[in-house]
Amino acid sequence: MDLLLIFSGTFFFLFFIWFILVSVNEKEYLAVKRALLLTVIIPGFYFLPVALSFGGSEILGWLLLIVGWGFVFMLLLPFKGRFKLTAETARKRYDERDTMFSRNEITHRPELQKHYYETNPDKIDLDKPWQKKPGLMSEKSLFYSAISFTAADASFFPIEQLRPFVDGDVNSKKKSFDSAKMTNFLSNWAKKLGAVSVGFCEMQDDHFYSVRGRGEAYGNKVKANHKYGIALTVEMDKDLLAAGPAGPTLMESAREYLNSGVIAIQLAKFIRELGYEARAHVDGNYELICPLVARDAGLGEIGRMGLLMTPELGPRVRIAVVTTNIPLEVTPRFPDYTVHSFCSICKKCADVCPGNAIPKSKIEMIDGVQRWQVNHEKCFAYWCTSGTDCGRCMSVCPYSHPDNLLHKIVRWGIKNNWLFRHFALKMDDFFYGRKPKPSKIPGWIDFDESGSHLKN
């Protein structure tokens, strides 16, 4: 028994040392402090009966072994639970003019705004609160910073310049290819260009907007005339996102919108040169709903916060899509309802949301779909107050931890065991905080010409 106790104590000691090293690398210093405490306490339980010979020590030793390893064994059992969605899509098309980005844009186009509110009088009272706020990227906003806001604008600028290249002429000389090999090439090339994940699906009508709502395309009907969709994700930097809702999260958001867009535009141009129609759907220039395409391309599930939850990085990604008629192999989708199961108990994003826009309720049937409904007006109102796109929900999500071995193990456990899900949530709260505070703005961002910190 002594050998078993020594082995157990050593195992847990080494595990927490590993956890501490990983947490130091991730700059998760609260986790480091609490893991240091457990490094002493939990191995100590196992070493104590060995070090001290006292009456009942053998019984205590066996009890510790049975309870400790019995609990570990229970966490590893393949018991996913019964949570399952029966209605994931309503197969209806949404009007882009109803999105907050469109409703924000038309505040600068009086004739469109007048027509929109005449057609949608129910939106008037919903929009008045955010329309009174300073606005996204405003100098009067709560987190205005000359450095981070200007840097974000510098990333949004090339996105605007690339608008003419999302679509274009198709080479009249069509080339033939093996669809499986072409699919493999596009997937690998997109990853070489910087994508984290790539998936392929057959496009459905409900993937597309019914009517455009932004820019010069406002009011144009969308033709769902492409058979295939190529969805790709790029990673948002964890440290910059953790500073949200301050300026760095806006910088990072703009940077990854640009990066994902550049990849999509290259793929679309390549496909058109081979003689097939292809259009890139990038920030501010979408004809479709990216998270739905990405979900159906097997890249993740839609979580409580209404964003795509990827297996590698949770919601800490940006998405771009290419639609095309080039023959492709569809990525098989295996729905992972453990994500919805975890979201149903977690609610961390809802607890930290500054705008109280994320529901804490159970998943509901809304418009024929089982999902959570984010209050978009409240969310956008906070954006217009902060001046940034916030990012707090993405930052604190337990799925957003780095894609290293430690967190891969946790994600595997969440996916495979109902009890592990509950345990992982408690441990995430313990090590990282139930309502973790935003990280400090990195010094290389938070400065002025004299080297002192900017005052937001």
Angle at 166 between CA 162 and CA 170, to 5 degrees: 130
Q: Which residue has the tokens 């964003």?
A: 307
Better-scored residue on pLDDT, 456 or 372: 372
**421 pLDDT above the threshold of 50:** yes
Number of domains present in the structure of the chain:
2
> Are residues 100 and 69 part of one domain?
no
Cα–Cα distance, 388 to 390 (Å, whole number): 5
Residue 53: per-residue pLDDT: 66
- Residue range 199-216: mean pLDDT, rounded: 96
Whether residue 432 lies inside any domain: the answer is no
Q: Quick check: helix, strand or coil at residue 39?
A: helix
pLDDT digits (tens, 9 = 90+) for 365-385: 998 899 999 999 999 999 999
Q: Are residues 135 and 237 in the same domain?
A: yes
Q: Which of 76, 109, 136 is the last residue of a domain?
A: 76
Q: Are 215 and 281 in contact (CB under 8 A)?
A: no
pLDDT in tens, 276-308: 999 999 999 999 999 999 999 999 999 999 999
Judgement on whether residues 164 and 304 belong to the same structural domain of the protein: yes
Residue 72 and residue 111 in one domain = no
CB 430 within 8 A of CB 422: no
Query: How far is Cα 375 from Cα 365, in angstroms, rounded to an integer?
Result: 15
* Final residue before a domain boundary, out of 76, 111, 126: 76
Tokens of 19: 């956890």
DSSP per-residue codes, 403-417: SSHHHHHHHHHHHHB
Q: Report if residue 84 sits inside a domain.
A: no
Structural domain that includes position 54 = 2-76
Indicate whether 42 and 159 sit together in one domain: no
Please check whether residue 141 lies inside any domain of the structure.
Answer: yes
Residues 210 and 117 reside in one and the same domain: yes
Q: Is residue 339 part of a domain?
A: yes
* Residue 160 banded pLDDT, cuts 50, 70, 90: very high
Please tell me whether residues 100 and 47 are part of one structural domain. Answer: no
**Pair 138, 247: CB distance under 8 Å:** no
- Pick from 311, 341, 334, 320: nearest CA to 403: 311
- Same domain for 133 and 72: no
Residues 206-217, mean pLDDT to the nearest whole number: 96
Model pTM score: 0.92
The per-residue pLDDT for 90 is 78
45 and 144, same domain (yes or no): no
